[in-house]
Structure 1
Amino acid sequence: MPLTVNDVDRFEAFRPRLEAIAYRLLGSASDAEDAVQEAFLRWQSTDVGRVEVPEAWLTRVLTNLCLNQLSSARARRETYVGQWLPEPLLTGDPMLGPADTAEQRESVSYAVLTLMERLSPNERAVYVLREAFDYPHREIAAILDITEAASQQIFHRAKKHIADGRTRAAIDEAAARRIVEEFLMAATSGRTEPLLRLLTEDAIAIGDGGGKVPARAKAFEGALAVATFMRGLFKPNKAKRAIVGGSPEVYVTTANGGPAVVVVVDGRVFGVMCLEVTAGGIAAFRTQVNPDKLDRATELWAAVSHGEPLLVAF
C-alpha cells in the first residue's frame, strides 16, 4: 500500500532523531544518513496503518540496521589505513541531536565516540539509547530482543567501559577555549616549553588520514612527544603548503560539543582537531583529516558565519 503524504510527514518529523541515533551508533554522518534512508525504505514497504507506535517501530528498525553496519564496519576497519576516528560534527549540526543534559552532551563528545569503538555493538546500542535518548530498559529490551535485566547489565557494563577511559574532570567552555587559543600561540612559537606547560603528562595525539592525507599510524604518547609533534606540525614549510593546497586559515570553534581547531583552505575544511581539555591540561588531540569524513563539516562551515581566523598557518 503506497505511503500517504501523512505517512511521509510522520517519518520526516522523526528523521532528525533517527539521524542523531544513527550517528552516535556509527560514528559517521554519511553512514547514518544511509541507515536512515534504508529505514525509510522499510517504512515505505510496510503496512504503516498496522504500526501502533511509529517511533518505537522506526527506532527498532534503525537500531538493527546500525547493528548490522557495525558488524561489517569492524571487518572493514581491520584493513583501514592508519588510525580510525569518528567523523566530527561542527556546532549547529542537527545530527548532534539533543544536548539538554550532561549525559546527552557527553554521549556525542568526540572522546566518548572514540571510546565507544571499544564496545560491542549491543553495548553501544544500549548505551546510546539509554544515556543519550533516555529510552527505558523495557523498550531497549524490545528493540534488541533481549530481556530487561540483560539491557540493564549491558548498560552498566558499557558505562563502566566509558568511565574507565574518562578519568579526568572537564572544564567549562570559556576556559577550554582560552586554553586552545594558548595552545595555538604556543604551537606557532617554535618552542617546545610553552606547549609542555599546557599538556598533561600522559597526553596523546592521534590523526586519521584514511590513507589519503599523511597521518602517523601510531599515536604520539606523552607530553614531550606530543609537544614536539605539535611544534613541527605548525612550523611553516613548502611541503605542508603543497599537501593542503595553500595557506590554511586556522579557527578555534567547537565540534561535538567540545573545543576544536578547524583548518580551512579556500573555504574547504581540511582538518578538524578535537581537543580533550581537562582541569590538568590538554589530555588528547584527535585530528580528522580524511577528506571523506569532512564533506559535511565543509557544507556547514560554508553556511554559517565564523568570523576571522585566529591565524594563517604555514
Structure 2
Amino acid sequence: MDFSFLFQNFAQLTITGLTLGAVYALVALGYTMVYGVLQLINFAHSEVFMYGTFAVAWVVVFFHGTSSATQSLGSTLGLMGIALVAAMITSALVALLLERVAYRPLIKRGAPKLIILIAAIGASFSLAEIMGLRDKIAGWFGLDDKLSDYVAQARNVYSSPVTIDPRGLFNIGGYRVTDVDLLILGSALVMMFALDQFVRRTRLGRGIRAVAQDPESAALMGVNSTRVIQLTFLLGGIMAGAAATLYMIRIGSTRQNAGFIFGVKAFTAAVMGGIGNLRGALLGGLVLGVVENWGSAVFGTEWKDVVAFVLLVLILLVRPQGLLGEALGKARA
C-alpha cells in the first residue's frame, strides 16, 4: 500500500474520480428508474450505453473522416453537440426496442421476475454480439466496402479519430482543473437535476411515481402503465446516451463489450446510493468514482474493481437500503 501517492495527488484523484463518477451516475439512472417502476433489474441497460458510444464515434467519422486529429474542446463543441443528439436518439431507440421485445410480452403474460431477469441478460449478450458482428451483417447486404469505416475490425477497440486536448483553467490543490473536467461534471449535474425535476414536478413524472408506488391503484386512476414503462425506458436511454457522449469525450474509444464492466459499475452505484432513488444514483456514482481512484492510488490499478465492490458490501452491511434508500414511488412532489 502506498498512501504517499494518494496524499500527493489527492486533488487530482478526487476531481478525476468525480468526473468518472458523474458518468457512472448517468448510466445508473437507467437502472434506478426501471427498478423503481418494475422492481426489475434491466441488465441490458449496459448495452444501451454501449450503442450510444458507437453513435458518438460514428458521427465523428461521418463529419470529420478517419484522419486522426487532436483538437481543443472549444473547436469540437459543435461536433460533440451533434454526437450528443445522435447518442441520445440511438440509446433511446435501443431502450424502447428492449422494452417492446424483451420485457412487454413477458410482463403481459405475468412471467415470474426471474424469467424476465434471464431475458434481460440474454438481451444484453445479444445486443453486444450484434455490434461485434456488424462487419458480417454489412457483408450480408453487400455494404461492407461502403461501410468499412464503421464496421471494420468489429471486435477490436474502436477509437474516435478526434482526440480532445484538455485545457487547464485553474488550480485546486496542485491539480489544474481542465475544461473537460468541468464539462463532464457540469453536464451530468444539469441533466440529473432536469430529470429529478421532471419526475417530481410534471404530470408524466407523477405518473411514473404513481406506478412505482402502487401500479394497481394508478391503473384505477387512469394511468396507462404501459406508456409509463415506455417513458421510463426512454428517459433511461436518453441519460445513457448523454453518459456515452461524456464517456467518449473523456476516454475516446469503445468496443462491443465496453458496456459490461461499465454497466456493472453503474449498477453498483445505483445500489450503493439506494436502488430506485434518483438522487441516490447521483451520490452513489460520485462516491464510487472517487473511491475507485483513491483505491487505485493506494493498492494499484489492478485492485480498482475490488475496492469498488468491497465498498459496496461495507455500505450495504451498515445501511442495506443504500445511502439514500427512498424509493422512486415515495419521492416528494
TM range (shorter): under 0.3
More helix by share: 2
TM-score of the two chains, using structure 1 as the length reference: 0.24
More strand by share: 1
Higher relative contact order structure (alpha carbons within 8 Å, sequence separation ≥ 6): 2
